[in-house]
Structures are given as structure tokens and as C-alpha cells.
Amino acid sequence: MLHVENLTASIGGTSILTGLDLTVDDGEVHAIMGPNGSGKSTFAHALAGRDGYEIGGAATLDGVDLLEMEPEARAAAGVFIGFQYPVEIPGVNNMYFLRTALNSVRRARGETEIGARDFLAVAQEAMDLVEMKQDFLHRAVNAGFSGGEKKRNEILQMAILEPEMAILDETDSGLDIDALRVVATGVQEVRRDRPELGVLAITHYQRLLDELQPDRVHVIVDGRIVESGGPELSARLEAEGYERFEEAR
């Protein structure tokens, strides 16, 4: 379970998160929506441990204090973040990157590292979920990938690393309808394999939520959650926008 209480975040003296509260139980999908500049991506960065922010409040995963951990320790504890703009790493083989990341997490959890041959079997099963061909393993990480391929690669990483909480920061950004469906289906297939996986999906668009079918939808304005509801809330936002929240500021 992810539990966030009175989370604040500022950078360069500018306050972005102003007291955010949220609980995501095991196996639940929660959507975070809100106007541009409301703090959605900052929320993801604060949970993942990105440098540069002054953080206050509390954030725990299964009772473990995330805010006291370095980013790599948070990953080992079960936090995964899928980026809106995945970076390219020229010269680093995708298979090497993925196996190194997996073994780093396994070491931190006290598990046995996995060899190259066994990793191929793990990777192939995960690649089938996101309809990626095996030759992607032998290319440099995201180098020369299309937008859709980069996002599929993010979900591939999620499937291989087996996190407890997946934070998807506008994973649908820049995807066409077919690529979005593949990515969303990959997320759902991972959830079927690991029903305890929690998902926090940050998005602007109803079409992703049509695929993910969230349990709860939350609206962030000025760095805090101002309204929560069921899936019908996202449909209302799609129809009406955020004008009523802007007027209430």
C-alpha cells in the first residue's frame, strides 16, 4: 500500500506540492488528472526521489519510509516510474541495461542474481506482453526508438522488475491509438500476473483510463488533491475541463 500524507515539494523557493494526501491499496489503479502546472509530474518525481526538490510530509510503501531512501533504494523497495520522456542511452545495450537493473533489484532484496540465459526467457515473456520483437534487446536503450517504442520499453522494464507500485507519468503522451492500446494492454497483463501491483497513472486523457479502468480518479490543482471520485469523474473532466476548479482558486 502506498500512503502519502501532507506531501509538500518545492524547488528554487517555488512551492509546487502544497499538502497532498493519497492512499493506494494493493492491486488498485488510481488516476491523477489536473491542469498543466498543477504538480502532477512533481508528485511522481517526489515519490521516485528525483534530486532538486525540498520535500516535506510523509510517503510510505508497505510501511517503509520512501522519503528517507535514495532513488535506487526506492526502486528495490518496489517503486517503479515510467517517464513521460524516456531518455536515450546511446552505447548501452538494452538487454545489458535490463538485466543489470533486474539484478541490482534482486541483490537489494536478497535474491539470487539471474544469468544471461535465464534472463532471455524472462525478457521474452515480458516482451510478448508489449508486442516487442527480440531485436529490441540488442539495440541501445531507446536510441532511435519511436515514441511508441520508448513507452513500450518502459512497460517492458516494469514487467521485468516486478515492482509493488508503478507510477506512470503521462505514459500515453505522444502515442497514437494503436500504440496506446498496446501499452495499456501490457500494463493490464502485468497486473493479471501480479494482482497485488498498484498503479498510479498520471494522465490528461480519458482514452488511457478507458483501457486501465481505474478504481479512483483524483484531481490535482495547485499541488493538492481537490476532488476524488470513481471513473465517472474522468468522463466529467473530459466533457467539462478544469474550468470550475480554476474559478475556485
Query: Is the distance from CB of 24 to CB of 30 less than 8 angstroms?
Result: yes
Q: Distance between CA 47 and CA 80 in Å, rounded?
A: 9
Instruction: Quote the mean pLDDT of the chain.
Output: 92
Nearest to 32 by CA among 181, 168, 174: 168
Share of the chain above pLDDT 90, in %: 68
Query: Is the distance from CB of 204 to CB of 46 less than 8 angstroms?
Result: no
pLDDT tens string 167-225: 999 988 888 888 888 888 889 988 988 899 999 999 988 888 998 999 999 999 999 99
What 3-state class would DSSP assign to 100? Answer: helix
> Which pLDDT score is estimated for 19?
96
Instruction: Return per-residue pLDDT of the chain as tens, 249 residues.
Output: 999 999 999 998 899 999 999 999 999 999 999 998 999 999 999 999 999 999 999 999 999 999 999 999 999 999 999 988 898 999 999 999 999 999 999 998 899 999 988 999 999 989 888 888 888 889 999 999 988 889 889 999 999 999 999 999 998 888 888 888 888 888 998 898 889 999 999 998 888 899 899 999 999 999 999 999 999 999 899 888 888 876 666
28-63: b or e for each residue (b if 16 or more CB lie within 10 Å)?
bbbbbbbbeebbbbbbbbbbbbbeebebebebbbee
What is the pTM (predicted TM-score) of this model?
0.92
Q: Distance between CA 161 and CA 155 in Å, rounded?
A: 10
Q: Distance between CA 3 and CA 21 in Å, rounded?
A: 8
> Which pLDDT score is estimated for 248?
60
Cα distances from 75 to residues 63, 135, 166, in angstroms, run 15, 27, 10
What 3-state class would DSSP assign to 59? Answer: strand
Q: Distance between CA 212 and CA 188 in Å, rounded?
A: 7
Nearest to 199 by CA among 5, 37, 8, 44: 44
